[in-house]
Every structure is written in structure tokens, then in C-alpha cells.
Amino acid sequence: MDIQRLKPSREHDAPLYLQLYRRYRDAIATGKLHPGDRVSSVRSLASALNLARGTVEMAYQMLTSEGYFLARGPAGTIVSPRLGNLGEPGHATVSRLLSPAPSRLQAEAGQVRPFQLGLPALDAFPRKTWARLAGHNLRVLDAAAMSYPDPVGYEPLRRAIAAYLGISRGIACTHEQVFVTAGYRGALELVCRTLLRAGDAGWYEDPGYIFARQFLTRAGMRLEPVPVDEEGLNVDIGQQRAAEARFAVVTPTHQSPMGVALSLPRRLQLLEWASHRQAWIIEDDYDSEFRYHGRPLPALKSLDRDERVLYTGTFSKVLFPGLRLAYLVVPEPQIERFTDSANYLCGPGSILPQATVADFMEQGHFARHVRRMRSLYAARRGYLVDALVQAFGSCLHVQPQAGGIHVLAHLNTRCKDKVLAEAAQSHGLAVEALSQWRMRRSPQGGLLMGFAGFITNEQAVESVQSLSAVLTEC
Ligand SMILES: Cc1ncc(COP(=O)(O)O)c(C=O)c1O
């Protein structure tokens, strides 16, 4: 391939590394580069295209972490050979994965503790628009809306979600496949009651989202920790430890809490395992809307040819968690079973908030909010990272992440992350220890910090200074 075709344009709005990353992805998707092809070294590409080495390095790092490239040390970097083997027909699968153009959502927040995880920027929520839509829904509430709500969710909202997922996440589904639930846990409950039985074994990312882990354990599931590395859930290890598992819970777009994306070869491998074993994959796509480098990979569900993926999304990050609204998309052949279970569960509750979210989505406020929040979060992330670098210098390393609303930082210290986090918490700082998100012990600790609540640079600097003082005492 003529490498001059990869040359980014300085006139383009997107940063040079991002343009380079996209050109490589397009070259792979369109078959100009094949699995196993050698790619130029960072040094020679930088020199041929007259780019800084850091620019090329950044693009290569993203391509490697998403599974397009395989770095082989001194033997050089190649296009991942696994792109060819696993997804017959290879190129069709790759192009499918790359094609959809996601649109974005947003969220908002109030007064919260510094570094609070899991909360969106409540200060930026468009309250006026929300109040207008909610007020309208209250006024026009008819008899149908005042009677018992549909346990599978309010139909206009189900339709709005199906349309949104088609455009933004590459998921082709009908509204009948969409079940509105009371938060992510409501979606998990529906899955457990419909497809699983107490005692069933399931793969769980290690480290992984604590609350879902606790919920599933209490529901009687036997969770097998499967380690996460720079390509996401390690499917090989899952197969070695519990090939016969009935389900796997994954956060493929933005692993919680490590922030890596499940690479394309691993996605295909996971789907293949599930089809072969007739296992279920629960895809938790909790914050895919917030991505700062390029577009997120389409959902794993978009590749689900054998109908093994149960897709979940939530309004907690893009709107606000107090809404308690999430959704589950089930495979078409499972609609009847899920509808039957939903009839005996509590469902998502009142129609009023559901109708307001439906209007918010249909009238374009949702997409606008997401776009606005993406740039807001990129700025707020910058406030926190700059403040951390300034306060801790080389004693601290912030793990690069393409999206999300938290950062993971590794501190160069012998002190346990749990001790540091507890000290911070006792001073009102909501920092969390990575080790607490783990199921098995690991020497690798880290500190998890939310940044969505830092409205100004000064707030971030002040909070990081307090954190630095606490950690120094430790
Ligand atoms: C990994 C992960 N999954 C799902 C959710 C959504 O949970 P819920 O819809 O119950 O707010 C969150 C919220 O913080 C999360 O961090």
C-alpha cells in the first residue's frame, strides 16, 4: 500500500494522530491492508509523512489496543492476523464493525463530592428543556397513561431507543426487542428471571463493575473472574477456567473500570464461544456515548449473527441516574419469554419520566446534549489530568483512555491503593481503589477518580492539592 495515502491533512479539524488512526482503520476495512501485513515502523512512517513520532505512536497505540495491530516488539508491527481467522468472511466483518456513525448523548449533575465516580455533569443538564417536556406530559396525561403502565416499557420510548441504537450503535432491532427497565439492575433481573437459574456459572470481568457483581452474586449466580488486559476480557482464560459457563458479562466499548476496548479479535472469539456453547453474553454499554478519540467501535450486539447477545444501555450517564431508567435489547426469538417474565416483575415504573425521555430523544435534545457533553467532558478530563501531572509529576501515571467519565491513575508508591483511597475518603474525597473492583488479588493497584463534577480548572487543582496533601501524609 502507498503510505502517502495515509498522510493526514493539516487543514483538517481532527488531530493528526486521529486522522492517521482512521486512515489505517479504513485501509483494513476496505482490504487495502490485510491481516498479517507488516506496517511501517513508527520512525519510518513519521519520517515519510513528515510527522512527529509521538503522533504516529499515539495512532499505533490506539490501533493496537483496539486489536487492529499486533505489536511484536523488535519483529515489528503487523495487522492483526486474528482479524482474518475469526470472522468469516474476515473483511466483511471488519467493515461492518467500522461502518456505523454513532451519535451522542449527554448528562448532568448537582453538588457531589470531588472525584465522585459514576455521576455525570449534573450542572450541565438542560433543566429548562426537561421541565418544559415534563410539564407538557403532565398536562396532557390521558386515561391510558394514568392506568397501569406497560411492564415492558412505554412504547414511544421503546421506539425512540430502537431508532437511536440503529443510528448510534449499529444495532438493528425493533421496538419489540427493547425492554425498558429500572436501571441496569432491572435489566439484569429480567435476564436472570428469564434465561438463567440460581447456580449458573458466568464469566465476570476482573476487575469489573462492583454493583452488578454484587447483584448477580445475590441472585445466586456463580461468577468466574476472567482477567482483563489491554485487549479487554481475556477470552482464552475464560475458556480455560469455565468453558461451560452459561453467560458472560462484558463492557466491550469501555471496560469498567480499566477503560480499554474489547479488541475486534476478542469480540469475534467471544461471540464464537457463546454460539458454540449456547451461552449468553450480557453486553453492558453503559457510557459508549462519551468518547474523545474517534468513534467507539459499534456495539458487540451489532455483530451478533447467532442471537446470543443481550444488550443493555442506561440513561444514568447520559441523562441522570435519579431517573432509574435503562434498557435491554433481547434477541428476536426471545421476545415472548422476556415479555412473559416482565409481566411478573415491577417494570420501569411510571410513564411520566419515560414519556419525557421519549420526547427528549425524538425532538433531538438527546443528540444535542450528548454532543455538548462530549466536549465538556474532554475539557473536564483535561482539568483533572493536568492538575494530577502538576501535583504528582512522574510519581503518577494516568492510564490513557479513549472515553468515559473517570480516570485511572497508578501511583509510584509501595502503599496499598486501598489505604490511599480510604485516607482520601476520610477527607471527603471520593477516590476509589482499583483493588476493590477486583475479584482476585493482583499486585497492580490504582486510583479511580471521576472528573465530570469539576466545573472549573481551579476546582480540579484545589481537589488534587487536597488529595496530594492526604497522600503525602500516608
Ligand atoms: C459499568 C456500569 N454499568 C452500568 C451502569 C448503570 O447502572 P444504572 O443503570 O443502574 O445506573 C453503571 C453506572 O454507573 C456502570 O458504571
Quick one: average pLDDT of 153-167?
97
pLDDT digits (tens, 9 = 90+) for 407-431: 999 988 888 999 999 999 999 999 9
**Residue 93 above 50 pLDDT?**
no
Which of 256, 324, 328 maximizes ligand 1 atoms within 8 Å of its Cβ, making it the mutation to test the pocket?
256
Burial level of 457, CB count in 10 A (0-12/13-18/19+)?
A: middle
**Residue 22 above 90 pLDDT?**
no
C-beta of 247 in contact with ligand 1 (< 6 A): no
Please give the order of strands across the beta sheet that includes 232-233.
178-181, 326-329, 309-314, 280-284, 247-250, 201-206, 222-229, 232-233
Task: Looking at the CA of residue 326, tell me the nearest atom of ligand 1.
Answer: 9
C-beta of 180 in contact with ligand 1 (< 6 A): no
Say if residues 48 and 40 touch (Cβ distance below 8 Å): yes
C-beta of 327 in contact with ligand 1 (< 6 A): no
pLDDT at 13 (0 to 100)? 67
- How far is the C-alpha of 205 from the C-alpha of 269, rounded, in Å? 16
Return the biggest CA–CA distance within the chain: 71
Q: C-alpha 452: how far from its chain's center?
A: 15
**Residue 109 above 60 pLDDT?**
no
Q: Ligand 1 centroid vs 314 CA: distance in angstroms? A: 7
Task: Looking at the CA of residue 208, tell me the nearest atom of ligand 1.
Answer: 1
- How far is the C-alpha of 364 from the C-alpha of 198, rounded, in Å? 42
Q: C-alpha 199: how far from its chain's center?
A: 28
Burial level of 333, CB count in 10 A (0-12/13-18/19+)?
A: exposed
Name which residue sits closest to atom 12 of ligand 1, judged by CA: 286
- How far is the C-alpha of 301 from the C-alpha of 387, rounded, in Å? 38
Equal CATH topology for 3-98 and 141-366:
no
Q: What nine digits make up the cell of 41?
A: 515502523
Q: Can you name the CATH fold of 3-98?
A: Arc Repressor Mutant, subunit A (1.10.10)
**Residue 136 above 70 pLDDT?**
yes
Q: What nine digits make up the cell of 361?
A: 430523544
Which of 161, 285, 286, 324 maximizes ligand 1 atoms within 8 Å of its Cβ, making it the mutation to test the pocket?
286
Q: Ligand 1 centroid vs 400 CA: distance in angstroms? A: 21
The dotted CATH code for 141-366 is 3.40.640.10
Name which residue sits closest to atom 4 of ligand 1, judged by CA: 286
pLDDT digits (tens, 9 = 90+) for 227-248: 999 999 999 999 999 999 999 9
pLDDT band at 473, cuts 50/70/90? confident
Q: Ligand 1 centroid vs 166 CA: distance in angstroms? A: 21
Which residue has 479488541 as its cell numbers?
A: 263
The dotted CATH code for 368-473 is 3.90.1150.10
Quick one: average pLDDT of 160-189?
97
Q: Which residues pair with 226 in a beta bridge?
A: 205
Whole-number average pLDDT of the chain: 90
Quick one: average pLDDT of 38-62?
88
- How far is the C-alpha of 24 from the C-alpha of 22, rounded, in Å? 5
Task: Looking at the CA of residue 257, tell me the nearest atom of ligand 1.
Answer: 1
CA proximity to 248, closest of 271, 229, 264: 271
Q: Where are the domains of the chain?
A: 3-98, 141-366, 368-473
Q: Is the entire prediction scored with pTM above 0.95?
A: no
Residues 6 or more apart whose CB falls under 8 angstroms from that of 453 comprise 109, 112, 114, 115, 116, 119, 121, 122, 123
Which residue has 468472511 as its cell numbers?
A: 89
